[in-house]
Amino acid sequence: MHIPDGFLNLPTAVASGAVAAGAVGYACARLRRTLPPEKAPLLGVMGAFVFAGQMVNFPVAGGTSGHLLGAALVTILLGPWAAMLVMTAVLVVQCFVFQDGGLSALGANVLNMAVVAPLVAAAVYRALGRAVPSGGRPFLPTVVAAWATVVVAALFCAAELVLSGTAAAAVVFPAMLGIHALIGVGEALLTAGALAVIAAARPDLWPVPRPAEVAE
């Protein structure tokens, strides 16, 4: 899903970068006020986990690649604002150190995977979590949220390639959405499995939420 250099035209790269910068700046401001001190060390832990998960890439037609995302897991544990910061840090390191994703497309990659994906995860998880019986863990909302983050992020990536004239919509949308719908299944299962392990070992990290508390 990382877009390399040369695949976005200037207007698309600038616009997506501006939106991403504004969103991440807002997330930093919110995080400064809302992140509990005891959860601060988890930012680094989750960043390392996401970084490792994203290192496995699958080539996709249309000039980009697919991989697991990790945004839903971070969002569920720490909230969308922390997830934006963690995902942005991972993408910046990948871009500058491993050349995974182009510098000119960094804004678009941050928008897709570090802004859109956490917001989608939070919205889906919160909406479906309200239907979970009191005292139960929202595993079904977790699965759906994780799958949705991958598919919607891929949709944004495909749209940016089409707007840039890099690939035809008839080619890139089926290619991106088809493969990422399958990757999303793996993402959903891994996210639910990781949270099940966390719930068993450290239930304080993923307490049973009230509906109003889901992905705040």
CA atoms of 165 and 152, how far apart (whole Å) = 20
Each domain of the chain, given as residue ranges in start order, spans: 10-213
User: Please, are residues 83 and 70 in contact by the beta-carbon 8 Å criterion?
Assistant: no
Helix ranges (DSSP H) in 99-168: 106-110, 117-129, 139-163
This prediction has a pTM of 0.88
Taking each continuous run of H as one helix and of E as one strand, the counts in the chain are 8, 2
Per-residue pLDDT of the chain (216 residues; tens, 9 = 90+): 789 999 999 999 999 999 999 999 999 999 888 888 877 888 988 898 888 877 766 665 555 555 678 999 999 999 999 999 999 999 999 999 988 889 999 999 999 999 999 999 999 999 998 887 766 778 899 999 999 999 999 999 999 999 999 999 999 999 889 888 988 888 898 899 989 998 888 888 786 654 445 555
User: Please, are residues 149 and 69 in contact by the beta-carbon 8 Å criterion?
Assistant: yes
CA atoms of 125 and 216, how far apart (whole Å) = 10
Could you please state the CATH topology (level 3) that the domain comprising 10-213 is classified under. Arp2/3 complex 21 kDa subunit ARPC3 (1.10.1760)
* DSSP letter, residue 36: -
